[in-house]
Amino acid sequence: MPQNLTGRVRHIVISKGTEMLRIPTHALVFIEADGNYSNVYTLDGKSQMVSFQLGQLEDRIGDQLGEDGSRFIRLGRGYIINMDYVHLIDISRKRLVLSDCMNFYRELEPSREVLVKLKAYLDARIEDERQ
């Protein structure tokens, strides 16, 4: 579970007007664009609609987590995903499955081009970690 230097769990906070949404970073699986709104999907299988565009949430995550936010990846106009939950990339069938292999399972359909890049990026990370 990701923690900051004080040992506390890090959260992403989405706050507007009278509402605040706090999500432990490890529990945020992905965010899906829905016009001017976005749906935030969490590890418990639930989703929450927020009145922010995906680009605005991308800024929030970048601002709040800094380089720790590198686990989150923007995929085209449609999604922000937590790469820790990338379970299956099937380029030929244009499928991306996010799962924790326990409770959460969800198929997304980003473009093939994005899937090619995502796979190449994750492959490169594996190589980097080996060296």
Compare residues 13 and 45 and give the one whose CB is closer to another protein.
13
Residue 24 CB, nearest approach to another protein (Å)? 16
Residue 62 CB, nearest approach to another protein (Å)? 5
Which residues are within 8 A (CB) of 53 and not within 5 positions of it... i.e. 6 or more apart?
33, 36, 37, 38
**How far is CA 84 from its chain centroid?**
8
Residue 102 CB, nearest approach to another protein (Å)? 25
Compare residues 45 and 113 and give the one whose CB is closer to another protein.
113
Calpha distance 27→38 (Å, rounded): 17
What residues form DSSP beta bridges with 42? 28
Compare residues 24 and 62 and give the one whose CB is closer to another protein.
62
What residues line the site for another protein (CB under 8 A)?
Answer: 52-53, 55-56, 58-62, 65-78, 80, 91-93, 110-114, 116-118, 120-121
Residue 63 CB, nearest approach to another protein (Å)? 8
Calpha distance 24→42 (Å, rounded): 9
Is residue 20 a contact partner of residue 13, using CB atoms and an 8 Å limit? Answer: yes
